[in-house]
Amino acid sequence: MQSNSVDGNQIHGDCNMKRKLFVFSRTLPTHQVLQVLGTLLRRFSTSPDVPLPSRVIRHAWTADPFTLGTWCTPSVLATEEDLLTLAAPLPPPSEDGEAGTSRIMFAGEAAEPENWSNLHGARLSGLREARRIAGLLQNDVCQSS
């Protein structure tokens, strides 16, 4: 298990494992997943006092018809600027910095230049675009007042 971020009492992460084990883990009942995660947390923290997680949210990425288990792998020639371009809204903001015309936003693990190809990057880019949309809505409300 790779811990990508900690927010309050939440741990966001992903597990990379062999295909058969991954399919098996998707079919485990939630109480067994909580037991396994508790064991892993105790082992990695070296503390036998770490309590079992109270809840787990899991998603079967390989069975999701929208992702089919894919993730990005930028070229070795790709730059941070390339990934920023991939994440830029369309149409792009005007020369004077006005963002009000942008209507298509991009979020996902491929649209986060420092955390591409993982759950944390997908989450961060979703939060970034939610803030961008909220800002656009706020500007629309302010301009129509």
For residues 38 and 56, the answer to whether their CB atoms sit within 8 Å is no
Q: Kindly report, residue by residue over 45-97, the tens digit of the pLDDT.
A: 888 888 888 888 777 777 778 777 677 788 888 888 888 888 888 887 666 65
pLDDT at residue 90, as a whole number: 85
- Where is mean pLDDT largest: 16-30, 88-102, 121-135? 121-135
pTM above 0.85, yes or no: no
pLDDT at residue 78, as a whole number: 85
Going from N- to C-terminal start, the domains of the chain cover 2-61, 80-144
23-43 residues labelled b (16+ CB within 10 A) or e (exposed): eeeeeeeeeeebebbeebbee
